[in-house]
């Protein structure tokens, strides 16, 4: 056999045993007549000792080893005289008796250690080497543990894992589909699934009342830290349930995962907040609840004092930052520059310092008296030593989003976004529709199969924007971990939804006829949700990006720089698929 033990297995109790190890050379150190090799595998590192006095030939061969050589070593476990408390095997070493080089290695393009000298681009190009680093490997091990606990929990609650198709029909709503040409059906295309939504609803019609799948999904959209063109969902659906049943079940699953994987226990029910309250108080539908700084609206207190900036807008909002009245002018100018950046786009920032002596110092002292500013402070609930930061604009939603970014920035600067603290929040009562000014039409905020609140059905025709969805998201630390809804299971109501979204009867039949046909044969009340496995893993790993929780991720341009994809295909393949590339259009992009 190649090995009797792993490189992370040997302990002081192993002293005297004859063992065989195999792995990669992490480091080589020569000290007089001794050569020390750190041998690494997935499980850890063991120090190997080659002694020139006892076996000069063996030591000479060891001296020819290079970093990342794959070797097999046989020897006797001994207690180290100079122990290393930084590694689990640090009390022992292996006195080598034989060495076999299984494969040589070129010098790697970056050092394979936790704090690598390789930049993101080079590490992604050589991802198979990057995966040898402990930090990346541990993320994938964490992902495995989470997936295992998901399966354990759902299996115990009578969920059945069912695979759904990956080649499906393209639908017009939502993000762009990745499409796949069909050779056997020329001129026709499959789509890769953005989610298994329709198929899991069909499983409910089929009587599989508790379904789950750890499903690969695809969306052709612009990328950012928490998005990849292909991602993995913990996808679930249940029959004969209401919103409360779904929330209770999957709050239990998240609590189980955090306890079993991270050792973190949540003893209380997760708090809940309506979508409208989230937007009013935090400017986000996934607010970071690890700290306060809720929004305070001030328009009624700011107008009529000849400050044209406030007088000319419809909306004035601010946050109170505890204990920051001591901020210097340089720090305040830095915050102003921050809110003016293109991704935030605010025109400026007004500040008010509540001094320890009870007075106020503000960037708008020329327009507002001490009494005026005292009223502002009372509205904020501010105390001496606090700092009030204020933004304004005509578009309330846009201004709230700008203030949300400033709030998060202040939380970061003040160390309030501790990655070891987890603050969950169920966001409920989303709007069923969102209005597009560009298209002058309503779109489904979640998807067309989300059920409206029963008490709001009466407004579908007269005031669609007023209708609330029977939908729910679980946010944590400012990240949407997952979400779902109670689905429409009534054909008449589903047809009404399609009509409100601008579908003609012909389009409805073409896109969703198979679902509507299924409903004719008895669809139970059902609902579910999906969690992003990548996002849950990055949350538990304490990472800002999901990329290092995925074995082979794409870069921000949607490319795999390791295998250089996407790539062109041969003309013969294009001909076989009845496709032609428009080079003029490509060159003009």
Q: Strands, DSSP E only, in 208-266? A: 210-218, 230-239
- CATH 3.30.1360.30 assigned to domain 291-417? The reply is yes
Contacts of 301 (CB under 8 A, 6+ apart): 372, 375, 376, 379
What's the CATH code, domain 12-103? 2.40.50.140
State residue 174's pLDDT score. 67
Please give the Cα distance from 449 to 477 (Å, whole number).
Answer: 28
Question: 399 with 296: CB under 8 angstroms?
Answer: no
State residue 118's pLDDT score. 82
Please give the Cα distance from 561 to 565 (Å, whole number).
Answer: 7
Question: 37 with 62: CB under 8 angstroms?
Answer: yes
Fold of 145-272+425-549: BirA Bifunctional Protein; domain 2 (3.30.930)
Measured torsion, CA atoms of residues 507, 510, 514, 519, in degrees rounded to the nearest 10: 20
Domain spans of the chain? 12-103, 145-272+425-549, 291-417
Whether the full predicted model's pTM is greater than 0.75, yes or no, is: yes
Question: 45 with 140: CB under 8 angstroms?
Answer: no
State residue 116's pLDDT score. 84
State residue 225's pLDDT score. 63
**Tally of CA atoms within 13 A in the half-sphere of 535 that contains its CB:** 23
Question: 554 with 508: CB under 8 angstroms?
Answer: no
Question: What are the residue ranges of helices labelled H in 344-395?
Answer: 370-380
Domains 145-272+425-549 and 291-417 agree in fold? no
State residue 173's pLDDT score. 60
Residue identified by tokens 């108080």 is 281
Measured torsion, CA atoms of residues 433, 434, 435, 441, in degrees rounded to the nearest 10: -50
Tell me which H or E stretch contains 245. helix 243-257
3-state secondary structure 291-341: CCCCCEECHHHHCCCCCHHHHCCCEEEEEEECCCCCCCHHHHHHHHHHHHC
From first to last of its 589 residues, the chain has per-residue pLDDT tens of 899 999 999 999 999 999 999 999 999 999 989 999 999 999 999 999 999 999 999 999 999 999 999 999 999 999 999 999 999 999 999 999 999 999 999 999 999 988 888 888 899 999 999 999 999 999 999 999 999 999 999 999 999 999 999 999 987 666 789 999 999 999 999 999 999 999 999 999 999 999 999 999 999 987 776 789 999 999 999 999 999 999 999 999 999 999 999 999 999 999 999 999 999 999 999 999 999 999 999 999 999 899 999 999 999 999 999 999 999 999 999 999 999 987 788 889 999 999 999 999 999 999 999 999 999 999 999 999 999 999 999 999 999 999 999 999 999 999 999 999 999 999 999 999 988 888 888 888 888 999 999 999 999 999 999 999 999 999 999 999 999 999 999 999 999 999 998 889 999 999 899 999 999 999 999 999 999 999 999 999 999 889 989 999 998 888 999 999 999 999 999 999 999 998 888 888 7
Regarding beta strands 44-51 and 92-103, do their DSSP bridges make them parallel or antiparallel, or are they unpaired?
Answer: parallel
Measured torsion, CA atoms of residues 393, 398, 402, 407, in degrees rounded to the nearest 10: 110
């Amino acid at each position: 056999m190649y090995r009797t033990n792993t490189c992370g297995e040997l302990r002081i109790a192993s002293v005297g045993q004859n063992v065989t190890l195999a792995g990669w050379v992490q480091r080589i150190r020569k000290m007089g007549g001794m050569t020390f090799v750190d041998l690494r595998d997935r499980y850890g590192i063991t120090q190997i000792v080659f002694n020139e006095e006892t076996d000069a030939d063996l030591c000479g061969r060891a001296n020819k080893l290079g970093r990342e050589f794959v070797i097999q070593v046989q020897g006797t476990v001994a207690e180290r005289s100079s122990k290393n408390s930084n590694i689990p095997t640090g009390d022992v070493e292996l006195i080598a008796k034989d060495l076999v080089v299984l494969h040589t290695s070129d010098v790697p393009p970056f050092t394979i250690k936790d704090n690598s000298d390789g930049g993101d681009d080079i590490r992604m190009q050589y991802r198979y080497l990057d995966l040898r680093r402990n930090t990346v490997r541990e993320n994938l091990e964490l992902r495995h543990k989470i997936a295992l606990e998901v399966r354990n929990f759902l299996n115990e609650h009578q969920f059945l894992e069912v695979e759904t198709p990956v080649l499906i029909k393209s639908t017009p709503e939502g993000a762009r589909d990745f499409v796949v040409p069909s050779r056997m059906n020329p001129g026709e295309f499959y789509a890769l699934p953005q989610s298994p939504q329709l198929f899991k609803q069909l499983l409910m019609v089929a009587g599989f009342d508790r379904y789950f799948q750890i499903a690969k999904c695809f969306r052709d959209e612009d990328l950012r830290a928490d998005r990849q063109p292909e991602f993995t969902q913990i996808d679930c659906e249940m029959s004969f349930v209401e919103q409360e049943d779904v929330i209770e079940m999957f709050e239990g699953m998240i609590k189980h995962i955090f306890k079993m994987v991270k050792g973190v226990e949540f003893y209380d029910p997760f708090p809940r907040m309506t979508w409208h309250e989230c937007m009013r108080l935090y400017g986000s539908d996934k607010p970071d609840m690890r700290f306060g700084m809720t929004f305070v609206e001030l328009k009624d207190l700011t107008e009529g004092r000849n400050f044209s900036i406030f007088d000319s807008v419809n909306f004035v909002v601010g946050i109170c930052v505890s204990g920051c009245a001591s901020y210097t002018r340089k720090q305040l100018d830095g915050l102003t520059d921050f809110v003016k950046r293109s991704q935030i786009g605010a025109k400026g920032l007004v500040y008010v310092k509540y001094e320890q002596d009870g007075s106020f110092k503000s960037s708008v002292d020329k327009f507002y008296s001490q009494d005026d500013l005292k009223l502002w402070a009372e509205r904020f609930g501010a105390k001496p030593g606090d700092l009030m930061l204020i933004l304004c604009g005509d578009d309330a939603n846009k201004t709230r989003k700008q203030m949300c970014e400033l709030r998060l920035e202040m939380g970061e600067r003040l160390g309030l976004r501790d990655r070891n603290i987890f603050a969950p929040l169920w966001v409920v009562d989303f709007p069923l529709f969102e209005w597009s000014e560009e298209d002058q039409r309503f779109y489904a905020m979640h998807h067309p199969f989300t059920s409206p609140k029963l008490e709001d059905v009466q407004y579908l025709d007269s005031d669609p924007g007023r209708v609330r969805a029977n939908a729910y998201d679980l946010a944590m630390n400012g990240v949407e971990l997952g979400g779902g809804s109670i689905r429409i299971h009534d054909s008449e109501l589903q047809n009404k939804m399609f009509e409100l979204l601008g579908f003609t009867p012909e389009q409805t039949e073409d896109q969703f006829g198979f679902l509507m046909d299924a409903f004719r044969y008895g669809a139970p009340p059902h609902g579910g949700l999906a969690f992003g496995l990548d996002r849950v893993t990055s949350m538990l790993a304490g990472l800002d990006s999901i990329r290092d929780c995925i074995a082979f991720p794409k870069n921000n341009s949607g490319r795999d720089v390791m295998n250089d994809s996407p790539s062109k295909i041969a003309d013969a393949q294009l001909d076989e698929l009845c496709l032609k590339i428009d080079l003029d259009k490509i060159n003009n992009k």
